[in-house]
Amino acid sequence: MSLAVTNRILSSAAKHMKRREKFLACDNHTLSQYDVSTLVQHCRKFSQRTIESLLLASLFTGRHVKTFCAPNTRTQMIEDTEYGLLLSNIVFPVWRKGSADDPFKSEPALPPYALLPMHQIKSIEVVAGMSEAELIMQSEDVLREINKAYGTRLTPTRIKGYIRVKAQACALTQAETNWISDTPLQQHGGSSYLSMFGSELIKKHYIYINFLMETAQCQLYQIDKILFLPFAQRRIGSNFNVSIGKVRESFFELRKIFAKEQNTGNLDRWLLFNSYTYFTVLILDMTTGHRPKRAMYGELSNFDLSRRVLLIKDKDNRVESARIVPLTSKAVTQLNYYLAFLKRFSKHLRFIHPEEYLVLEEALLGRSSLFKLWVRGKLKSFATGYLSEVDIPRIDAKNNWHRHWIRSRLALHPELNPAAIDAFMGHENLLDESFSAFSSLETLELRMVADALCIELEKISISPVELLL
């Protein structure tokens, strides 16, 4: 290894350690269980007081108490319940503002929100229009009294940050935590990929809130009836989700092409080739989360089929997003089918299309990208931009729709380590850096993510297909 490369690695490691030390030393990590339980008990005892209610709302949501008096703070009461909503100001990228007859147009999603007890919502409404400085001063006065009386170390900043300390233990992912705390999307890409029903977010959020209640030996919140209300049955977050029906339809149409071309004497070899390549890439996309880019998946050497892993390098401007992800059994099976097909197909071309034969042989030898498309009379490295130029059934959606799908489906698996999900997707996780480039990688937890995606494919009846020429 050259001295220059070594120095770059050491420099990156030093920056990582410095950032980690700063993160661990910040106020977010200085509240003890005693501090938190004391705060909860005090605020519950004086829940009719405005400031106490706001401090508890800050602990519940990860929002600084000063934000509750901001002009853009929005609340909404829920009729016939003891709860209300604190709405997020997060704005998601919008896909397809087009015509109403667009069959792939997504239903508009609601902004994220936090379900809070009614007295907290009313307290937020009381301080609307108050100056930020005044609200901070009053909050610090209350905390000063608590600290003096009980020997705690409570500050507004430490209270706000506590949700990030306990998020992992309470099955909240970084994206979900960002939603609840109203953290801007541009800081963490995973937040903009997620789409889920409101009831799903409420259930996960209240694992954390009831953990706080249990720690303080207070009565737990009962939210079961809330989960079935109309607002909780609507999607929140990204509207990039593609209906499962459309995904199934595209796979079905591709299978029809396979059956037709294999059973006809007049074989359209390039239609079959493009369709089967796209089919294989789709299964890989939905099981690995590979970002769309030119020459997707690179050379065959990026796949280690004996160990069932894949090296992904899909972010040229962010080297640290390179990662090794486990391959599901479906992905391995489909890839083996495709490689066998490619070998037979290239031999079929040897004498009628010698140039194309050489291109495919180079791909099979690992000297060029594995996946190709026949576009405008030439074989080109697979890129989503070429799909509009080939006449095959395809999923008409945002190029990275599958990453939104993966995020949304994995959110339904609370047994998964949220940090492992971020590592699988190639997103930095500031809640847990155990999967960072300078730490050991626990492949078992990544394998659990891959297995969960295999289950999700089974739910929508997507399975490998073998083509015999």
Q: What is the dihedral of CA 407, 410, 416, 420, to 10 degrees?
A: -30
Higher-pLDDT residue of 106 and 355 is 355
Distances (CA, A) of 218 to 34, 142, 149, 240: 14, 21, 20, 40
Q: Determine the Cα–Cα distance for residues 289 and 402; give it in Å rounded to an integer.
A: 7
Instruction: Please tell me the distance from the alpha carbon of residue 390 to that of residue 387, in angstroms, as a whole number.
Output: 5
Asked whether residue 423 carries a pLDDT value surpassing 60, the answer given is yes
Q: Which two tokens mark 23?
A: 């993160």
Mean pLDDT of the region 425-430: 72
Please give the pLDDT value at position 95: 61
Are residues 116 and 85 in contact, defined by beta-carbon separation less than 8 angstroms?
Answer: yes
Q: Taking residues 41-61, what's their average pLDDT? A: 96
What are 65-100's pLDDT values in tens digits? Answer: 999 999 999 999 999 999 999 999 887 776 654 434
CA proximity to 277, closest of 156, 413, 382: 382
Least confidently predicted of 34-38, 173-177, 427-431 = 427-431
pLDDT at 10: 46
Confidence at 429, pLDDT banded by 50, 70, 90: low
What does the pLDDT read at residue 440? 43
Q: What is the pLDDT of residue 250?
A: 92
Q: What is the 3-state secondary structure (H, E, C) of the chain?
A: CCHHHHHHHHHHHHHHHHHHHHHHHCHHHCCCHHHHHHHHHHHHHCCCCHHHHHHHHHHHHCCCHHHHHCCCCEEEECCCCCEEEEECCCCCCCCCCCCCCCCCCCCCCECCEEEEEHHHHHHHHHCCCCCHHHHHHHHHHHHHHHHHHHCCCCCHHHHHHHHHHHCHHHCCCHHHHHHHHCCCHHHCCHHHHCEEEHHHHHHHHHHHHHHHHHHCCCCCCCCCCHHHCHHHHCEEECCCCCCHHHHHHHHHHHHHHHHHHHCCCCCCHHHHHHHHHHHHHHHHHHHHCCCCCCCCCCEHHHEECCCCEEEECCCCCCHHHCEEEECCHHHHHHHHHHHHHHHHHHHHHCCCCHHHHHHHHHHHCCCCECCEEEECCEEEECCHHHHHHCCCCCCCCCCCHHHHHHHHHHCCCCCCCHHHHHHHHCCCCCCCCCCCCCCCCCHHHHHHHHHHHHHHHHHCCCCCCCCCC
Neighbouring C-alpha atoms within 13 Å toward the C-beta of 298: 14
* pLDDT digit string, tens, across residues 302-326: 999 999 999 998 876 665 567 889 9
Q: What is the pLDDT of residue 111?
A: 83
What confidence tens digit (pLDDT) does each residue in 165-222 have?
Answer: 898 788 888 888 989 999 876 555 577 778 889 999 999 999 999 999 999 999 999 9
pLDDT at 13 over 90: no
pLDDT at 107: 54
pLDDT at 45 over 70: yes
Give the pLDDT score at 430. 60
The domain limits of the chain are 1-26, 31-237, 242-469
pLDDT of residue 63 exceeding 50: yes
What pLDDT score does 65 carry? 97
> According to the model, what pLDDT value does residue 288 have?
94
286, 288, 293, 297: CA torsion to nearest 10: -120
In this prediction the pTM is 0.74
Q: Which CATH number fits domain 242-469: 1.10.20, 3.30.70, 1.10.443, 3.40.1710?
A: 1.10.443
- For residues 408-421, give the mean pLDDT: 84
Q: For the chain, give the mean pLDDT.
A: 85
For position 173, what pLDDT does the model report?
82
**Model pLDDT, residue 414:** 79
Per the model's pLDDT, the better-predicted residue between 192 and 162 turns out to be: 162
